[in-house]
Structure 1
Amino acid sequence: MQQEVDPFADFLASLMGIWNTGVNFAYGMLTPGWRQNQFLILIALTVLAWLLHRVSGRLLQNWVRSREGWSKWQLRVVVQIRRRLGLIWFALLAGGVYLVMQQITWPSRSYLIGLAGTLAAVMAGIAFAARLVRNRPVRRMVTWGLWLYATLYFLNVDDDVAGFLDRLALTLGEFRMSLLDLIVALVVIGGLLTLARLVSTTTAATIRKNEDISPSMQVLAVKGLQIFLYGVAFFLGIRAVGIDLTGLAMLSGAIGVGLGFGLQKVVSNLVSGVIILLDKSIKPGDVISLGDTFGWIATLGARYASVVTRDGKEYLIPNEDLITGQVVNWSHSNEFVRLDIHFGTSYGDDPHQVRELAVAAAKSVERVLSFKSPVCHIVGFGDSSVDYILRFWIKDPTGGLTNIRGNVFLALWDTFKENDISIPFPQREVLLLEESRLALSRGENGSAAPLRARSGQEG
């Protein structure tokens, strides 16, 4: 009968093996010989690489400052190179010394130098490749993880470490998940997701540059492509590490029940977002009014639409509200918007002249369209004035509606003042009848007499 291996005892044995290896290595460094000589050479190369890093870094910085017209990605590349100049110089120096020593002495007497140079070159390459990961904590974790794996690989202890990690496993019936499987799954899925992000970013940039595709269809195509690529990357990563996907059938059923109860609003917003993108009723750049909110669509997301108002506020409106509510889209079919303002003039002013002056005043405002000529009509005879309505058109509602109305009112004021057109305001005259005067003078209602009495007392 095969004896079961104790994971804890195996862990202690591995630690003792690593400790003994480290002790033997340190003893070799302290004992005179070629191992100690290689260690001293590496120290000298480290100091020389540091000095070269300081000098070349300043030269590179001064050279970049003398350049003009560089794009941001070029400047970022130069910054990353400058940060890792020390590692690059060390890899080059160690590689050169290793090649020379291979020719003039035994290969074993330059093994540590070659190993250090190889690790430095690999670490520099990993540092540059890890820049593809945008999230900084994830990027650091990926960088250190790859550095650790590269070190173990070139030290020829990766198989031993992999075997140790594989023995640390969780077993539930026929299901077995080791720490090695978990690490491999994270690495594979992370790599595939990064690749999917790069492909989706490149493809999305190409789609956005295509002017033949409407903005709403661009958003829909980009979102659909991202969902497809990320989904494929995730399932390929799961299959690559040998995890059976048949058990996901029960999980999908549970997710369906959860969607039916707890995620109704979320699913409704997602579906509403797809409907909005398909029917093109609202697209990025449209000017809309929803209740008291007036602004333009900045972005259309999977769950909400971002509406930016004139005062800089950004409202995140759920997609469901845009489908079920009454939305005024000022630029749905075209960008032309008609605005109305009401005013009145005195009965003594000629209405024909007032209409001509009002139209001329509206045309003098910069944003008012001239090919859609403003019109002015009489809408009624009020108590104090003849009432008019002035209608004009604009094509840039994103520039604001209140300010253009104010400019037209100001133009009317200036035009009417120049042509002696008066804008009346309500006036009231109070007529005091003779009987009321006599009653007040006699104090019949108890108001005048006490007032005279108080006045006399005060005097």
Structure 2
Amino acid sequence: MEELPLIEVETARAWWDLARGGALDLLMPGWRLWQVLIVLALGGAAWLLARAAEPRIRAFVKGRGWSKLRLRLLAILVRRLWLIFFVALAWATWLVMRELTWPSRSYMVGLAAEIATAWLIISLAARLIVNKALRRWVTLGAAAWVTVYYLGVESQTRDVLDAVALELGEFRISLLDLILAATIIAVLFFAAAFVSRSVGDRVRRNEDISPSMQVLTVKLLQIVLYAGAFFFGLRAVGVDLTGLAVLSGAIGVGLGFGLQKVVSNLISGLIILMDKSIKPGDVISLGETFGWINSLGARYVSITTRDGKEFLIPNEDLITNQVVNWSHSNDFVRLDIHFGCAYADDPHLVRKTAIEAAIGVSRVLQDRPPVCHIVGFGDSSVDYILRFWIRDPTGGLTNIRGNVFLALWDAFQREGISIPFPQREVKVLEGSRLATVEDRPARAAE
């Protein structure tokens, strides 16, 4: 087994000796031990006060009709009641002890008050971070740093963290480098999320940019900001990105084979956004699915149907399959209705009646008037086609067809126009015998 470098062993040993010596000093009888006991007592008292005050505060607020913002701020403070009470008790105790005794006999109480105050400020400031996981890590990291800073062991902690390292040839990365990189990347990610959210809101409010370009702009901005934050954070702590580029290339090749569908959906999503073939709000048909596009995602498109179902269609399917976009270049949609009337009815009257009935239906456009044509002579009827236009396919297609059919029925009833049904004539040939119901028992007896 390879031995650790001498400097790392010495650094770790020095840190251990320092920590052990400090702990022994604190446990020695005297004012240091008394101050430790006082701090512990203050912590217990703060915990009891918080347990007693929390239900009373909730009962006081209940039913007062406060705004959501005030209630949210109060909830944040209630969760930190123990720390608030401890800070107040620690500072009050430190002020009293400083007046009654020597400053050295209240130093540790004041130090505990300073550290607790810093923890409280960090905990409140971290609420600005929306992501819960990132907020938790930032809070823990900042609390650990201020604790080390106030205890005056920054250099020793830095040496120990730097001593724990992984070395591969000329490549060396220590625990200190990882912590610094994680801290810088977390801060940069927070800044990137803030900038992305702010710019994204402005882009979405800009009516001059099409919906598809809005989505594309926001997603490209997020990719650039987050990727830049990640690589800049690594570069800030001295990580050589040359080796990382080679490693990422090898990993990318391996992932390319295993994640072909995912990559294909991502590329297809970018193509859809760039060529503007579909956009949020369009009404499309894909196979048996008919609905309007709710949102465009990096991997899939959300389509909401008339019955409230939401389908998540992979982007690749929209590229490789035939898609009917009812509102691609404009919102005008032509619908056809087939019907038949009896040969005895005047076809001129039938066409006129059908057109007037369709015009009277709401949603049917009058600036593009309906037309009706004869398309054939059937076995039982003269076949017609009625064509009309609408410009709101999001309102549904089946319902408007049903309304036009109902208008045709009412109009044909008024005009005496009949809708025939297939009829058959039965002819009895000469010499054949037609059996009746009365003949059946006799024939069965034979």
> Deviations along 1:143-165, whole A, 9 cap, x unmatched?
33333333233222343333222
Matched with 1:400 is 396
Q: Which residue of 1 aligns with 2:26?
A: 25
Distance 1:180 1:265 in 2: 38
1:91–1:121 Cα contact (<8 Å) kept: yes
Q: Distance in 1 between matches of 2:30 and 2:400?
A: 82
* Match status 1:170 vs 2:171: no
Residue identity opposite 1:209 in structure 2: R
Contact 2:27/2:33, CA 8 A, preserved across alignment: no
Change over 3 Å in CA distance of 1:151–1:34 after alignment to 2: closer
Distance 1:426 1:19, change over 3 A: farther
TM-score, normalization by structure 1: 0.82
SS where residue 433 of structure 2 aligns? helix
CA–CA separation in structure 2 for the residues paired with 1:172 and 1:54: 57
1:445 maps to: none
Tell me, yes or no, if structure 1 residue 190 matches structure 2 residue 186.
yes
Maintained 8 Å contact 2:373/2:385: yes
Rounded Cα–Cα distance in structure 2 between residues aligned with 1:29 and 1:136: 43
For residues 34-78 of structure 1, give each alpha carbon's deviation from its aligned partner in whole angstroms, at most 9, with x where no partner exists.
665565455445544554555445445555x244xx5xx665444
The question of 1:199 aligning with 2:188 is answered no
Structure 2 counterpart of 1:25, which letter? L
Measured in 1, the distance between the counterparts of 2:370 and 2:71 equals 53
Q: Structure 1 residue 342: deviation in Å?
A: 1.0
Aligned to 1:384: 380
Pick closer, same or farther for the CA change 1:105–1:61 going to 2, 3 Å: farther
Preserved contact between residue 130 and residue 139 of structure 1 (Cα < 8 Å): yes
Shift of 1:287: 0.9
Return the letter of the residue paired with 1:5.
L
Distance in 1 between the 2:137 and 2:29 partners? 33
Residues 34 and 214 (structure 1), Cα distance of their counterparts in 2 relative to 1, 3 Å cut:
closer
Q: What SS does structure 2 have at the residue aligned with 1:344?
A: strand
Whole-angstrom distance in 2 between the partners of 1:314 and 1:38: 58
Residue 353, structure 1, aligned to residue 349, structure 2: yes
Question: Does the C-alpha gap of structure 1 residues 41 and 234 become closer, same or farther in structure 2, counting only changes over 3 Å?
Answer: closer
* Cα offsets for 1:285-323 (capped at 9, x unmatched): 111112222122222223332222223333333333333
> For the residues of structure 2 that align with 1:350 and 1:139, how far apart are their CA atoms?
79
| One-letter amino acid of the counterpart of residue 111, structure 1 | Y
Please identify runs of 4+ aligned residues in structure 1 that moved more than 6 A.
6-10, 29-32, 451-454
Counterpart in the other structure of 1:412? 408
Deviation at 1:413, TM superposition (A): 2.4
User: C-alpha distance in 2, partners of 1:453/1:207?
Assistant: 90
In the alignment, what sits opposite 1:223? 219
Q: Are residue 144 (structure 1) and residue 140 (structure 2) matched?
A: yes
Query: Size of the alignment, in residue pairs?
Result: 441
Residue 290 of structure 2 corresponds to residue 294 of structure 1: yes
1:218-297 pair list within 5 angstroms = 218-251=214-247, 253-254=249-250, 257-258=253-254, 265-297=261-293
> How many angstroms apart in 1 are the aligned matches of 2:35 and 2:343?
113
For the structure 1 residues 170 and 255, does the alpha-carbon distance in structure 2 shift closer, same or farther, using more than 3 Å as the test? closer
Q: Which residue of 2 aligns with 1:210?
A: 206
Deviation, structure 1 residue 204 = 0.6
SS at match of 1:412: helix
Render the CA deviation track for 1:123-150: whole Å, top value 9, x for unaligned: 2232233334444444434433333333
AA at the equivalent of 2:324? V
**Structure 1: runs of 5+ lacking an equivalent:** 442-448
Instruction: Give 1:93 shift.
Output: 4.5
Q: 1:195, CA displacement in angstroms? A: 1.6
Residues of 1 paired with 2:46 and 2:286: CA distance? 68
Counterpart Cα distance in 2 of 1:132 and 1:66: 22
Deviation at 1:399, TM superposition (A): 2.2
Q: 1:129 to 1:452 in 2, by over 3 A?
A: same
| Aligned residue number for residue 446 of structure 1 | none
RMSD (Å) for aligned C-alpha atoms: 3.5
Structure 1 range deviating more: 245-254 or 193-202: 245-254
Deviates more, 1:338-347 or 1:41-50: 41-50
Cα deviation per residue 1:406-456 (whole Å; 9 max; x = unaligned)? 222223223333443321111112112122228x89xxxxxxx9x778721
Does the residue aligned with 1:247 lie in a helix, a strand or coil? helix
Work out whether 1:456 is the aligned partner of 2:445: yes
Deviation at 1:269, TM superposition (A): 3.6
What secondary structure does 2:242 align onto? coil
Contact in 2 for aligned 1:45/1:94 (Cα 8 Å): no
**Offset from partner CA, 1:1-32 (integer Å, 9 cap, x none):** xx953968976775575455445435558998
- Return the alpha-carbon distance in structure 2 between the equivalents of residues 417 and 368 of structure 1: 21
The counterpart of 1:312, out of the listed 308, 311, 336, is 308
Q: Partner of 1:180 in structure 2?
A: 176
Find the residue that maps to 1:171 and give its secondary structure: strand
Gaps of 5+ in 2: none
Q: What is the alpha-carbon distance in structure 1 between the residues aligned to residue 73 and residue 118 of structure 2? A: 18
Q: Deviations over 1:78-116 (max 9, x none)?
A: 432332244334334533554565456533333333333
1:387: how far off?
1.8
8 Å CA contact 2:342–2:382 kept in 1: the answer is: yes
Q: Percent identity?
A: 57
Contact 1:293 1:309 in 2 (8 A): yes
Shift of 1:356: 3.5
Greater mean deviation of Cα atoms: 47-56 or 365-374: 47-56
* Pick aligned residue for 1:115 from 108, 111, 117: 111
Alpha-carbon distance in 2 for matches of 1:31, 1:210:
64
Deviates more, 1:97-106 or 1:394-403: 97-106
Query: 1:429 maps to what in 2?
Result: 425
SS at match of 2:6: coil
CA distance in 1, matches of 2:372, 2:218: 48
Structure 2 length-normalised TM: 0.85
